[in-house]
Structure 1
Amino acid sequence: MPKVKAEKKSRQHQEVKNQGIMFNTGMGQHILKNPLIVNGIIEKAALRPTDVVLEVGPGTGNMTVKLLEKSKKVVACELDSRLVAELQKRVQCTPMQTKLQILVGDVLKTDLPFFDVCVCFTVLRMSTLSIYLLVYFLFVLHLFRCAVLMFQREFAMRLVAPPGDKLYCRLSINTQLLARVDHLMKVGKNNFRPPPKVESSVVRIEPKNPPPPVNFQEWDGLVRIAFVRKNKTLNAAFKSTAVEQLLEKNYRIHCSVHNVEVPADFSITKKIESVLQEAGFCEKRARSMDIDDFMVLLHAFNSAGIHFS
């Protein structure tokens, strides 16, 4: 290792030792140290004095103490027992102590109490973890008012991407179907200790209440097919052998359940083409279709007895 790099690494190691905690970056332990960013995010969360706040990954409590000042109660979920001890010491013998509940463990495997607002400022990478957390909030914990979450910037921009944007994808339309999503701010990596390798962004997610009147399993089945090749026309996307076999199986099940006879010369290819043609979607491409377009298309397929799973 070159001498300059070795010296830099040695200085960084000594700084971390002086702080008393070795942060595990593999667990997303990058502590947000800029108080201006912390205050700005809390302001945009629009907390109420009656709110119960779920904080995922409180770290050493920089955000937690601010949340305690603005809300009725904070439920902090932390996986690292060392940071739990730091957080407990920080509020011990203060008026905030009775307002803080600490849950030790993985938020995805913990029985959570009711909460109004969720905040998570752990730097979540564009990975399965980010998607799991998002799905967990939107499907399992959909009764909360809003969630303010920090993600790797590209993942965050996918959540808010509109039709036609190069980042617009299945994740974009599924999230926007279930919630209003707003990009709040960019957060540079130098605002963290230690700095992560990626730039971050903060988004605000408000679940739609009531949720849209759509069978999500059917919806996601359609969207999945369309976005496999989002630049292809739908006519081409539905010509996949695997897609045709699945839809024909579903169609025959539908006909059997409803006592509809399937003609001997039945062709699923012609059936799909007929639906796309009549609905005016043959030449449409998923990259430019919005929620209303997919709603219309799903209704057209379902009305013709074709279902998705």
Structure 2
Amino acid sequence: MDTHIADAISRPCLIRLTERVVCLRFETMKVVSALEAVRCLLDRGRISPGDTVIDSSSGIYAYALALACHRFGLRCRIVGSTTVDETLRLQLEILGAELERMPPSGSLELDQNRRVRRIEEILREHPEYHWMRQYHDGIHYLGYRGVAERIAEEVGTAGLTVVGGVGSGASTGALASHLRGYSEEVRLVGVQPFGSVTFGGQHVSDPDIIIAGIGSSIPFDNVDHTLYDTIHWVSFEAALAGSVELLRSHAVFAGLSSGAAYLAANWEDSLDGEGTVLFVAADTGHRYAESVFAHHRRARDVRGLAPHEVDTVDGLAHPWSRMEWGRRPPE
């Protein structure tokens, strides 16, 4: 029996959707990394109960870190973006986390840089705070070891392809790192939004939205490009279609990045008739009710969608592009 809700939330569900496609479904994925990172920092003596930890977040990590702090008796401070909605704000407040939201910005790059600058200002005032640095500290890889062990045990690693958002690099990158301890042949397929700098797609913008959680307008040190075999760039329009189809066909109510990963996973499955394709559904669909699921009637039929196959990022095109990355470093 669990003694804290964070422990329960940190365990994902494994759902076999078809003979070869499996969904790794989290309620809130970043609880896995935040919980283990905080536990490790405590064990190493870098922080102690009662200390304050701080980080920047567009939403999901804020909740994960607040739960980890509640679990271990720490104070939590978040510099958040305007994407932190009222439901999350209330949860953070009641959990005892201090949230400072940045003013609205028309640029994701400006928003992310502004949040980092604000953290640096706070740290100058409070050097005793510990900055979690979710985008840059490899400690966030540790929590996925147990998830990888479970995948290896229940799904196996022979012919396995893992598909999911790149984001900070500490989810799909960590899973691949741990799974390749069982088999170096495990393939990793990363999903990016158009406009993200991580794999060089910043020159193609998305007129609707940059999909939160899987892309970035600033470089992330936790992303190891040499782990990724293939990259898919998915637009809001295509990700919306994937999210709606995932719910309609399999009753899995998951977020926008999950819809993008589902779309990419089905395509990878269609290319190779052997092995298992496992995709990551990072969160539930609740915070996307108005922005995504309310528009389900206009969602495109996923059967009519296919990626543009490109050799270089110069060829990226909406609504969906795919490139063999080949585990190489960034250009």
More relative contact order in 1 or in 2 (CA 8 Å, sep 6+)? 2
Whether TM exceeds 0.5 here: the answer is no
